[in-house]
Homo-oligomer: A and B are copies of this chain.
Amino acid sequence: MDKIMIKEMPQHVGETVRIGCWLANKRSSGKIAFLQLRDGSGFVQGVVVKADVPEDVFAAAKSINQETSMYVTGTVIEDGRSAFGCELQVSGIEVIGEAEDYPITPKEHGTEFLMDNRHFWLRSKKQHAIMKIRNEIIRATYEFFNDRGFVKIDPPILTGSAPEGTSELFHTKYFDEDAFLSQSGQLHLEAAAMALGKVFSFGPTFRAEKSKTRRHLIEFWMMEPEMAFTEHDESLEVQEQYVSHLVRSVLKNCQLELGVLGRDTSKLEKIQAPFPRITYDEAIEFLHEKGFDDIQWGDDFGAPHETAIAEHHDKPVFIVNYPTAIKPFYMQPHPDRDDVVLCADLIAPEGYGEIIGGSERIHDYDLLKQRIEEHQLDPEAYAWYLELRKQGSVPHSGFGLGLERTVAWISGAEHVREAIPFPRLLNRLYP
Contact = CB atoms under 8 A, between A and B. Distances in A.
Interface in A166-194: 170-175, 177, 179, 181, 188, 191-194
A128 B195 contact: yes
Q: In the complex, which of the residues A219, A384, A431 has the most CB atoms of chain B within 10 Å of its own CB atom?
A: A431
Nearest to A392: B69
Interface in A377-394: 384-385, 387-394
Contacts of A219: 156-158
A205 B195 CA distance: 25
A156 B40 contact: no
Nearest to A117: B384
A272 interface: no
Interface stretch (A279-287, A302-310, A367-375, A417-425): A417-425
Contacts of A238: none
A392 B99 contact: yes
Chain A: number of interface residues, binned into ranges: 35 or more
Contacts of A387: 119-120
A69 B196 contact: no
A213 interface: no
Interface stretch (A27-35, A130-138, A334-342): A130-138
A221 B5 CA distance: 30
Interface stretch (A52-60, A144-152, A261-269): A144-152
Interface of A: 5, 7, 20, 22-23, 39-41, 67-69, 96-100, 102, 119-120, 122-123, 127-128, 131-132, 134-135, 138-139, 142, 146, 149, 151-160, 170-175, 177, 179, 181, 188, 191-199, 203-204, 206, 208, 210, 218-219, 221, 228-229, 363, 384-385, 387-395, 420-422, 424, 426-427, 429-431
